[in-house]
Amino acid sequence: MNARLDRGAPRSFSSKGQVVELGIYTFGDIVADPHTGNKPTYIERTRQLMDMAKLADDAGLDVIGVGEHHGLGFVNSATATLISGMAAATKRIRFSSASTLLSTADPVRTFQEFSMADLVSGGRVEIIFGRGAFNDNFPLFGFDMKDYDALFAEKLELFELLNSNERVTWSGKFRAPLHNAEIAPRPHQARLPVSIGALSQGSVARAARSGYPLVIPVLGGSIEGYADIAAYYRAVWAQCGRRQEDAKVSLFSHFHVTETAEETQQDFYPYYSGYMRRMFRGPIPAATYAHMLSPAGTFVGGSVQQVVDKISMLKEATGAQRYVGQIDVGAPRFSTTAKGIELLATKVAEQLR
């Protein structure tokens, strides 16, 4: 390549010091209702996602994330498009991808799409670049999984140049070169805020060395394990000569909050078990689900107090400044999702802030 990243300044997301930012995210998953066997249509799920954004905005949450998947079991594969629609229907909430699969995307087109969404929103858009939970995007877009890391590194470097310059000259291995190319439109913000979603040591180190905020997907394992990831990120960050207070960490996890613990333990179990069937190759064992909800587990769910305690434990362990929960995981009834948004924005937020 004939260009290099400026690795000096941190590329941080919006922060409010020690105050925990709270938000929700969604993949728009299409899951059959365990009681009726009916699946929501793509039209119904899209309307629900739009309504979720408006509810979260009205309730005072800080951010809503939109995940990207490319299978028939999910409604969203065009994140910037959905964010633009949500932005036009809201006033103040920030938006983030959750995450954008950069390895199989074109950085130029990705920059254009998210810049346009940022203009529609009036400067409320962020991007998380990550690998994603599935790999169906690689064959779909004609890429080889063996090139995953090289693709990600090259495209991340190009995106940084696009984000910083109106004209770009660049060459690489996986994309046609650019010769004094005009990069438009420019976003409403001076630059699009970018974070890196990562769990592996190599990816975490790359985020720290390049000055990006880290997004940790909390999916199974132990709280201590995620504490180790955050500590390693900050250690590499400090080795690069940066101030510790500029190292930003956010957490994304499955999430469900109800008035009582029993509602999550009993009513939500069939929905979550259906969603996780692929991973468990069948229903989640009841004992496993109980452990996930326990103080030793990493699933953020249960009563308001249980959720407050779990988020507090995760924040204490990782030093995270932002927590974002997958509010509609398992596609429960929309009334349940709406109630969860209300509880997170009021009773949970009241204690965490």
- Residue 11: pLDDT above 60? no
Q: Which of 31-40, 43-52, 104-113 has the lowest mean pLDDT?
A: 31-40
Give the burial string for 182-195 (b: 16+ CB within 10 Å, else e). Answer: ebeebbbbeebbbb
Q: What is the secondary structure of 228-296 as a DSSP string? A: HHHHHHHHHHHHTT--GGG--EEEEEEEEEESSHHIIIIISHHHHHHHTHHHHTSSPPHHHHHHHHSTT
Please report the pLDDT score of residue 208 as a whole number. Answer: 98
- Residue 66: pLDDT above 50? yes
| Mean pLDDT, rounded, for 274-292 | 90
Q: Which of 4-8, 160-164, 213-217, 268-272 has the lowest mean pLDDT?
A: 4-8
By three-state DSSP, how is residue 89 classified?
A: coil
Q: Which tokens is 254 given?
A: 């499955």
Please report the pLDDT score of residue 13 as a whole number. Answer: 42
- Residue 166: pLDDT above 90? yes
Please report the pLDDT score of residue 107 as a whole number. Answer: 98
Please choose, from the candidates 121, 126, 127, the residue with its C-alpha nearest in 3D space to the C-alpha of residue 57: 121
Domains (ranges, CATH) in the chain? Answer: 21-352 (3.20.20.30)
Please report the pLDDT score of residue 19 as a whole number. Answer: 56
- Residue 290: pLDDT above 80? yes
DSSP at 35 = T
Query: At 7, is the pLDDT very low, low, confident or very high (cuts 50, 70, 90)?
Result: very low
Q: Is 45 exposed, middle or buried (0-12, 13-18, 19+ CB in 10 A)?
A: buried
Give the burial string for 150-178 (b: 16+ CB within 10 Å, else e). Answer: ebbbbbbbbbbbbbeeeebebebeeeeeb
- Residue 4: pLDDT above 80? no
Query: At 3, is the pLDDT very low, low, confident or very high (cuts 50, 70, 90)?
Result: very low
Query: At 5, is the pLDDT very low, low, confident or very high (cuts 50, 70, 90)?
Result: very low
Query: At 155, is the pLDDT very low, low, confident or very high (cuts 50, 70, 90)?
Result: very high
d(CA 193, CA 185): 16
Sequence-distant (6+) residues with CB within 8 A of 261 are 293, 302, 303, 306
Task: Please report, rounded to a whole number, the percentage of residues in the chain having pLDDT higher than 70.
Answer: 94
| Mean pLDDT, rounded, for 67-84 | 94
Query: At 14, is the pLDDT very low, low, confident or very high (cuts 50, 70, 90)?
Result: very low
Q: What is the pTM of this model?
A: 0.92
d(CA 79, CA 337): 20
d(CA 95, CA 62): 9
d(CA 117, CA 87): 8
Which pLDDT tens digit goes with each residue over 90-142?
999 999 999 999 999 999 999 999 999 999 999 999 999 997 767 788 888 88
Please name the residue that has the structure tokens 């509609």.
328
Please report the pLDDT score of residue 125 as a whole number. Answer: 98
The mean pLDDT value of the chain amounts to 92
Please report the pLDDT score of residue 9 as a whole number. Answer: 40
